[in-house]
Amino acid sequence: MNEAFASLVVVVLLAAAAPLIVDLIPGPVRIPQVALLLVGGVIIGPEVANLADPTDISLFSTIGMGFLFLLAGYELDPKIFVEKAGKTAIWAWLSTLILAGIIVFALYALGVVQSPIVLTIALSTTALGTLIPILKEHGMFETKFGRYILATGAVGELAPIIAMALFLGTRGTIAAFIALLIFLLVIAAASLAKFSLLPRWFLTMVEKRRHSTSQLVLRLVIALLFVLLFVSSAFGFDSVLGAFAAGMLLRHWSPSGSEILEIKLEAVGYGFFIPLFFIYSGMTLDLASILTNPAPLVIFFVAMLLIRGAPALFWYRRDLPVLERFELMFFGATALPLLVALTEIGVDNGAMTEASQASIIGAGALSVLLFPIAAVALSKRNGMVTGANLSDAARVRDLHAQPVPAEMSNAPHQNAPTGTPTADREEPR
């Protein structure tokens, strides 16, 4: 049997077994599947059992990262940035960036750390794409508190992506700014374009083949993802910018009531490609360097919590109770996918050693393993696993509710069940 295919078989078996293993592990709080995929990747990788070669699935991993950021961009509602939750998230992120910059550049001046720009941006990231499946698993996604988490994740992912494009691209800062501006203007123009501008025969064909064996809409979305991945690389940016832009563009293009398309994208992404990205991240982790010198990993892990997470305790003091602020602190400090992209740029530029890269990615993997568990445990302690004051019966009704028709998607909740606080419900898109 071909060795590359054998590696893929091992990885796919691990991806299929992960959700089953999560359900079998006892405990008051479920371990996120992402954490299990990372640990499993380490075990089957060359550092431990050597059952699979990461180079054999590197292409699948790249596509998986693309799907992860596409779905994160698709879930991002731009309106969130003008809401109170979004504005507060921006201030919290700016305070994180300033604090990280002061500390990192001071350590750089003392010769303690390398690549200060990479480290500063890395300490300001939040893994929105990683948090979304965790929030959905625990019923927190559509709640009022979930809106604060989404705002924190949206700013903590989009702002670092822009910072990467400006300061870590292949061009100088001014040229990168001009290129980024052109790229964003093209995306904005495309998002404002109406389908009515397209030929009627094309629209008819798309509608006709929407759910046929050709799956034309899904193929067009995947083509959009690949094209924007290529375009962002052509502009000298990291591919995550193209994937995130593809998700935001798709959100504007999608008609109301496009739940079926979202289900299909999640099936392709979370069903195959995204798990392979996390497994690959575990397989490529330089475990030997971490075990030889674990101090950098521990320091960066603690710094993530204090610099990225802790500002939530201050900025949300008037909006959230104490326990929810601590939950937000743990969720906000969770990071991994952008850390992979950032450190790859640092290593490619010669500004960061592979040992430093392993420590940062290891800290990110540890944050994905521990921080969401801590946040969900606080939710259980608070008696509000969903983050909203909904009774169990109300939550069951929400989970089994029929989809809202497209023509009613913007209607108010006039027929809300008695006793269910509509203030804690988000308007359906």
Task: Please write the tens of the pLDDT for every residue from 309-359.
Answer: 999 999 999 999 999 999 999 999 999 888 988 888 888 877 788 888 889
User: Quick one: pLDDT at residue 403?
Assistant: 44
Q: Which amino acid is at 219?
A: R
% of the chain at pLDDT higher than 70: 80
Range with the poorest average pLDDT among 91-95, 134-138, 195-199, 372-376 = 195-199
Residues 6 or more apart whose CB falls under 8 angstroms from that of 179 comprise 165, 169, 171, 235, 236, 237
User: Quick one: pLDDT at residue 198?
Assistant: 59
CA 51-57-63 angle, 5° bins: 150
Predicted confidence (pLDDT) per residue in 42-96, tens digit: 999 998 999 999 999 999 998 998 998 898 888 888 888 888 999 999 999 999 9
Could you tell me the sign of the dihedral formed by the alpha carbons of 343, 158, 370, 123, in that order? positive
Coil, helix or strand at residue 143: strand
With cut-offs at 50, 70 and 90, classify the pLDDT of residue 395. Answer: very low
Alpha helices in 287-336 (DSSP H): 287-292, 295-303, 311-315, 322-332
Q: Kindly state the tokens that stand for 331.
A: 């969720």
Name the range with the highest mean pLDDT among 3-12, 216-225, 403-412. 3-12
The arithmetic mean of pLDDT across residues 400-427, rounded, is: 41
Residues 6 or more apart whose CB falls under 8 angstroms from that of 281 comprise 38, 41, 61, 336, 340, 361, 365
User: Quick one: pLDDT at residue 405?
Assistant: 40
The arithmetic mean of pLDDT across residues 112-128, rounded, is: 90
Range with the poorest average pLDDT among 188-197, 267-276, 332-341, 383-392 = 383-392
Q: Kindly state the tokens that stand for 212.
A: 């046929």
Read out DSSP for 64-102? HHHHHHHHHHHH--GGGGGSHHHHHHHHHHHHHHHHHHH
Exposure string (b/e) for 214-223, b if CB count within 10 Å is 16 or more? eebbbeebbe
With cut-offs at 50, 70 and 90, classify the pLDDT of residue 422. Answer: very low
User: Quick one: pLDDT at residue 121?
Assistant: 94
Domains of the chain: 58-278+288-381 (1.20.1530.20)
Closest CA to 154 of 256, 83, 56: 83
Residues 6 or more apart whose CB falls under 8 angstroms from that of 256 comprise 406, 409, 429
Residue 375: how many CB atoms within 10 A of its CB? 28
Predicted confidence (pLDDT) per residue in 214-256, tens digit: 577 788 888 888 888 888 888 778 788 888 888 888 877 765 5
User: Quick one: pLDDT at residue 404?
Assistant: 41
d(C-alpha 168, C-alpha 160), whole Å: 11
Residue 151 pLDDT > 90, yes or no? yes
Residue 5: how many CB atoms within 10 A of its CB? 9
d(C-alpha 106, C-alpha 302), whole Å: 18
DSSP, res 385 = T
Coil, helix or strand at residue 425: strand
Residue 38: how many CB atoms within 10 A of its CB? 26
% of the chain at pLDDT higher than 90: 32
Closest CA to 326 of 313, 316, 315: 313
Q: Which amino acid is at 146?
A: G
User: Quick one: pLDDT at residue 209?
Assistant: 62
Q: Kindly state the tokens that stand for 146.
A: 């979930």
